[in-house]
Structure 1
Amino acid sequence: MHARTPFPTLVLRFAAATAATLTMIAAAPAREARVATPMVAVGAQYDTTHVYVAPADVDRFAESFLATFGGRSTKQVVATVTPTPSSTTSQLLQTPVGTVSLFGFTTPVPYPFGLERTGYLVTDMDVAIRAARAAGADVLVAPFPDPIGRDAVVQWPGGVNMQLYWHTKAPSYAPFRTVPENRVYLSADRADAFVRSFLAFSHGKVVSDQARAPGAEIGRPGQIYRRIRLESTFGKLTAHVSDGHLPYPYGHELTGYEVADLKATLDKAKASGVEVLVEPFESDRRESAMVRFPGGYVAEIHAVLQR
Structure 2
Amino acid sequence: MPNNYHVPVMLQECIDALAIKPAGVYVDVTFGGGGHSKEIIKHLGAEGTLVAFDQDADAQMNLIADDRFEFIDQNFRFLKNNLRAHGLLPVDGILADLGVSSHQFDVPERGFSTRFDADLDMRMDQSADLTAKKIIAEYTEEALHKIFGMYGEIQNAKTLAKAIVNARLTQEIATIADLKSAIASLTPRGKENKYLAQVFQALRIEVNQEMEALKEFLEQTIDVLAPGGRLVVMSYHSLEDRLVKNFMAKGKFSGMVEKDFFGNEIKPFDLLVKKSITASEEEIKVNNRARSARLRIAIKK
Q: TM-score with structure 2 length normalisation?
A: 0.30
Larger radius of gyration: 1
Between structures 1 and 2, the one with greater helix share: 2
Larger relative strand fraction = 1
